[in-house]
Amino acid sequence: MNRSLRLLLSRDDFYHQRGYWVIANALKNAGVEVLLGGVQTPAEIVKTAVQEDVDIIGYRIMQGAPKVVIPILFDIMNKEHLETIPVVVGGIVPEKDEQMIKKLGVKEVFHPLTPLTTVVNSIKNVV
């Protein structure tokens, strides 16, 4: 029996939540099972990804620290042998940081005002 795509959606802060909820709703409407992680550290994201057997991780970053948190996330994922789970990032990501996190393995980076259809289709294509 086939199950729907399972995406863990986490974020790095309690502020600027509107985009998080809009993305979650758009993905749910497109048939993706969205597991809302809320505000999570990289270690908590990995723990939830294991517990929930997710197919992809979506991480909303607004605090301007992707160059710090993404390497930590991938380090923990590698230690837990989760390197096959794709990671996508959305939010405020400076261009220089975007290049660096893509080199680390982030599959897609979505910026504010990215069309929802682009986000949904890209996430489905990544998996």
**63-89: per-residue pLDDT in tens?**
768 888 999 999 999 999 999 999 999
Q: What is the pLDDT of residue 1?
A: 40
> Model-level pTM?
0.94
What does the block give as tokens for 126?
Answer: 């990544």
Secondary structure of residue 110 in the 3-state scheme: strand
Please give the average per-residue pLDDT across 95-120, as a whole number. Answer: 94
Please give the average per-residue pLDDT across 105-113, as a whole number. Answer: 94
Domains along the chain with CATH numbers? 6-121 (3.40.50.280)
Beta-bridge mates of residue 109 = 89
User: Tokens 């893509």 map to which residue?
Assistant: 102
Are the C-beta atoms of residues 40 and 48 closer than 8 Å to each other?
yes
Residues 84, 23: Cα–Cα separation, whole Å: 23
Residues 121, 125: Cα–Cα separation, whole Å: 6
